[in-house]
């Protein structure tokens, strides 16, 4: 398992995070939501701060995917939905099957609307987190999380975020947090109850996110990575809903001799990145079965 921890050091007031146990990599915490305005200055400040890491990494801004710096880089694939208008998305970008699901969801009696950051919202999020100890085949790291910790985690970037909540018969059954970064909306969190999966909750929440991004005149909506070994079902959901693959440069800068050796050996991405996609998908299925047997999992109603 990759270890992640925040550290006290900041660069230009931006919180950093260290990843890894043997080869340690430092990056901006919540890096999709925080820009690196001057890459050379960013690397210089990290070196000057004497941070206990072997490699520094950062992403180029999503609005500028062409490599601009001389540092070593690799492509990072993101799922991006280009947005013009809601009608354009619904009629042309959305595939036939999810379009029908969305129509049914909107007629099911489900209510989807924006919601303020409040105790009510937080209790609804906690109920969704606590539904199952397993999510997408993985152990749910949010399961039975303390309410104060949930409040702290979701209280970031409130000045440029909106929460979307889905309700059915008075019960909150799904939510999303969309954070706005320059010309894009970015899902910071997006989850619904497995027991209500037959209502196409995620389709309805996504439609609301597209609507608010279109109203703001944004260029697109970002929904995490596209392609990752064990997330085939989620990738299929993204593609069917009009998301496209956008490759961003991820830069890697060695800070120590171990960092330099790791980059040369191709170990800076971790062991999983060296494995074939077919192997990772097979391993994900085994992990799913094991976690469901060990921890149990919620089932659709």
Q: Walk along the chain (301 residues) and give the pLDDT tens digit of each residue.
A: 445 554 446 776 788 999 888 899 999 988 999 888 889 999 999 998 888 999 999 999 998 889 999 999 999 999 999 999 999 999 999 999 999 999 999 888 999 999 999 999 999 999 999 998 888 777 888 999 999 999 999 999 999 999 999 999 999 999 999 999 989 999 999 999 999 999 999 999 999 999 999 999 999 999 999 986 556 789 999 999 999 999 999 999 999 999 999 999 988 876 555 555 565 566 556 655 655 565 655 555 5
Q: Are 230 and 286 in contact (CB under 8 A)?
A: no
Domains of the chain, each with CATH number or no CATH: 4-75+249-276 (no CATH), 84-218+284-295 (3.40.630.30)
- The β-bridge partners of 165 are 113, 175
Q: How far apart are CA 108 and CA 49, in angstroms?
A: 55
Please provide residue 141's backbone torsions phi and psi, each rounded to the nearest 5 degrees.
Answer: -70, -10
Unique residue bearing structure tokens 């971790």: 270
| Whole-number CA gyration radius for the chain | 20
Q: How far apart are CA 58 and CA 65, in angstroms?
A: 13
């Amino acid at each position: 398992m990759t270890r992640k921890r925040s550290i006290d050091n900041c660069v230009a007031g931006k919180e950093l995070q260290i990843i890894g146990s043997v080869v340690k990599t430092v990056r901006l915490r919540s890096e999709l939501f925080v820009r690196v305005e001057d890459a050379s200055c960013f690397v210089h400040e990290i070196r000057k701060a004497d941070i206990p890491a072997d490699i520094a990494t950062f992403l180029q801004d999503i609005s500028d995917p062409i490599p601009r710096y001389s540092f070593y880089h690799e492509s990072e694939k993101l799922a991006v939905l280009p947005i013009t208008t809601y009608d354009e998305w619904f009629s042309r970008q959305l595939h036939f099957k999810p379009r029908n699901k969305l129509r049914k969801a909107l007629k099911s009696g489900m209510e989807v609307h924006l919601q303020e950051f409040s105790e009510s919202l937080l209790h609804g999020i906690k109920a969704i987190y606590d539904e199952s100890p397993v999510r997408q085949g993985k152990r749910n790291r949010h399961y039975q999380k303390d309410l104060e910790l949930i409040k702290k985690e979701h209280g970031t970037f409130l000045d440029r975020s909106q929460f979307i909540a889905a309700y059915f018969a008075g019960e909150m059954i799904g939510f999303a947090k969309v954070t706005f970064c320059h010309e894009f909306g970015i899902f910071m969190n997006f989850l619904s109850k497995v027991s209500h999966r037959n209502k196409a909750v995620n389709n309805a929440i996504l439609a609301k996110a597209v609507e608010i991004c279109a109203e703001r005149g944004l260029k697109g909506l970002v929904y995490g990575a596209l392609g990752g070994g064990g997330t085939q079902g989620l990738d299929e959901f993204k593609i069917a809903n009009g998301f496209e693959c956008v490759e961003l440069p991820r830069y890697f800068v060695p800070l120590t001799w171990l960092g330099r050796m790791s980059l040369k050996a191709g170990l800076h991405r971790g062991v999983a990145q060296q494995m074939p996609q077919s192997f990772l998908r097979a391993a994900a299925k085994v992990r799913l079965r094991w976690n469901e047997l060990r921890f149990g999992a919620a089932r659709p109603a």
